[in-house]
Amino acid sequence: MDWFHCSKCFTKRGSSFAVTSCGHICCEACIISNECSVCGASCCYLTISDEMKPQEKVFFKEPLKLMQSRLEHISQIAVFQQKQMERIIIHLRHMTVELERRLKELTDKGYRQLSELRRENDVLKKHILELKKENAELKKPLSQRRVSPGHLHIDGGQRMTLPVAITSPVTPHSRTGRCVFHSF
Ligand SMILES: [Zn+2]
Ligand SMILES: [Zn+2]
């Protein structure tokens, strides 16, 4: 570590160094009890060793390595999250396929029902038309009705007129009557 040295005497050699709470590094020889030998502030000393806490050790690591390490960690986090996302995407694709299948099924069913209803509607329209014709026919006066063969006239009209037609030859002026007078 090129940057590492005692902030007071600038030595790089020595087995024991300490860092102050005010941020200065001191070799063993430069340490003064309860006071920073560099800036004179009252401080406490922390011995630089492997026993330090991770958040303390990190200040003595190379930034480039720290960045690589952090990047690897960040990359692991990104891969982890991406895998979760991939599972969601696969799930959503399955759901999309299933929903499309159900939609097609319902659409086909809807078209079939529509077609059946149209056919039924056509039949009902024809039926209504027939009923309207029948209704209009029933509203006409009796004499204007269309006659079904030998129905109305036989029952009503012809029976009333027939006696007249039959009785007219049998009048006193008939041939039969005259014959009777001549022969007498
Ligand atoms: Zn020193
Ligand atoms: Zn200091």
Q: Is the pLDDT of residue 62 over 60?
A: yes
Ligand 2 centroid to Cα of residue 34, in Å, is 11
∠ CA 136-139-140 to the nearest 5 degrees?
95
Instruction: Determine the 3-state secondary structure of 150 from DSSP.
Output: coil
Closest to 142 (Cα-Cα) out of 156, 130, 126, 129: 156
pLDDT in tens, 131-183: 999 999 999 887 776 655 544 444 444 444 444 444 445 445 544 444 444 44
The ligand whose atoms approach the alpha carbon of 5 most closely is: 1
Q: What is the pTM of this model?
A: 0.48
Give the environment of ion ligand 2: residues with CB less than 5 A: 22, 24, 36, 38-39
Where exactly are the structural domains of the chain?
A: 17-60, 62-140
**pLDDT computed for residue 146 by the predictor:** 62
Give the environment of ion ligand 1: residues with CB less than 5 A: 6, 8-9, 27, 30
pLDDT in tens, 78-131: 999 999 999 999 999 999 999 999 999 999 999 999 999 999 999 999 999 999
- Rounded CA separation 25/34 (Å): 14
